[in-house]
Amino acid sequence: MKHMLFKSYIKKAFVKMLYFLFPLAFTFSLLPIHASLILCDSLLSSSKVGHPHITNFQHWKKIRSEQGKCCAMFPDEPEQIQQSVPISGENASLQYHVYVTNTQKVIFMLLIVQYPHVISEVNSSKNLEHFLSMLAAQNSGAKVVSADLVNVQGHEGLDFVIQSGMTLFHGRVTQANNALYLIGVECEHDHYQEDNYRYFIDSFELE
């Protein structure tokens, strides 16, 4: 099964997201980011398949990102991608981290983008809504089914659902301090389980 939404969003929207949030880093981070996203494709195609109907949450694994200063529960040990991209004109680097597992035709993923400076949260809701529109625009057949502002430990977040054909992407995006966090689940409609998604999303914690 090919997860077209996940691959499309990561490959096409990720670089645009960097340009939107971190314009100084865009030109000089473009090539190395695309190189690492090829690795992301490899991880997705080889990721492990777990047991169907994941309902025994006691077997889920708590994964902590020391660099991203957050944690979340995954149904399996996720594959990890990390990259540091120097920013031209600054003595600093852009950091990003991806945690992803493919369990019984369901992709669970956490994406963290870190900038060396604090991101202003003055217009965070507009930024998040723009980011969501940008994600949906990457696939001509995709549409935003729902979008709701939420509170994520004192920071504004956006819960959303994007649909393309029979494929759904349920996710939450938030920005805090110097990072943007995207956590979500992608699968075909028949494989979606609300309990698993809710447990995954609600397990996300900023430290």
* Per-residue model confidence (pLDDT) at position 54: 54
Domains in the chain: ranges and CATH = 4-206 (3.40.1000.10)
- Provide the pLDDT confidence category of residue 96 given band limits of 50, 70 and 90: confident
pLDDT at 67 over 70: yes
Rounded distance between C-alpha atoms, residue 114 and residue 122, angstroms: 18
CB 183 within 8 A of CB 200: yes
- Arithmetic mean of pLDDT over the chain: 75
What's the Rg (C-alpha) of the chain?
16
CB 114 within 8 A of CB 96: yes
Rounded distance between C-alpha atoms, residue 43 and residue 49, angstroms: 12
pLDDT at 35 over 60: no
Q: What is the mean pLDDT of residues 160-177?
A: 89
Rounded distance between C-alpha atoms, residue 73 and residue 202, angstroms: 9
